[in-house]
Amino acid sequence: MDRYENYYRSVVLAVKAINSTLEPTEVIAAIVEQTVKCMGVRGSTLRLLDRSGKYLKASASYGLSRDYLRKGPVEVEKSGVDRLALQGEVVEIEDVCCDSRFQYPEAAKDEGIVSMLVAPLSTDQRVIGIMRVYTGEKYTFDEAEKEFLNAISDISALAIENARLHQALKTDYEMLSAFENRIFED
C-alpha cells in the first residue's frame, strides 16, 4: 500500500471514529492511535488549551510512557513551538534536544524522542489546541506528512467541537427538563 493510500484510509478511519460516538475522549484516542500507525511514528499527543489559554492539557496520547506524559505542564508562554502552532502554523523540530523552542528537552531525551511535528487544532477560525507526533530518530517531515497531520488535526478539532456542543445541548436539555418537572409537580 502506498503512502497516500495509507493516508486516505486513515482519514476514513478517523471520520468513522468521529461518527461512531459523541464521547470526545473515545474519538480523540482513536484518532491519535490511528495517526501513529499511519505515519509510522513513535508516538502522538493531543493537547487542548485550558480555559485560561495559558496551558495545554493532555487529552489523548499513544505510544508514550506515563513518565513522559507526567513531565510537567505545557505552558504556552514557555513553549515556542506550541505558540507558533497556536498561531496556525505546522511546526517541525528535527532535534528537540537542541531546539530552544521545546519546553522539556531532557524529558524528551529520556523518552527517546528526537524529532517532532506539531499542527494546530483549528475550527471556525479558532485554535483550540495542538496535535504532536514524535519520532525516535532524527527525521525531516515532508510536505505530504505535514499536510496529513494538519488534515487529521482539523478533523479532530471538528470532532471535539461537535462533542462539546452535543454535551452542552444535553446539559441544557436536562436542566430544562428538571425545571419543568419542578414547576409542574409543585
Percentage of the chain lying above the pLDDT 70 cut: 98
Averaged pLDDT score across all residues of the chain: 89
Report the pLDDT value the prediction gives residue 44, as an integer from 0 to 100.
97
Q: Is 18's pLDDT higher than 90? A: no
Per the listing, cell 467541537 goes with 161
Domains assigned to the chain: 1-184 (3.30.450.40)
Q: Which three cell numbers stand for residue 19?
A: 461518527
Q: Which three cell numbers stand for residue 33?
A: 492511535
Q: Is 139's pLDDT higher than 80? A: yes
Model confidence over 23-72: pLDDT tens digits? 778 888 888 998 999 899 999 999 999 999 999 999 999 999 999 999 98
Written as one string, the DSSP assignment of 106-154 is HHHHHHT--EEEEEEEEETTEEEEEEEEEESS-----HHHHHHHHHHHH
pTM metric for this prediction: 0.84
Q: How far is CA 37 from CA 30, 62, 105, 133, 153, in A?
A: 11, 10, 24, 11, 15
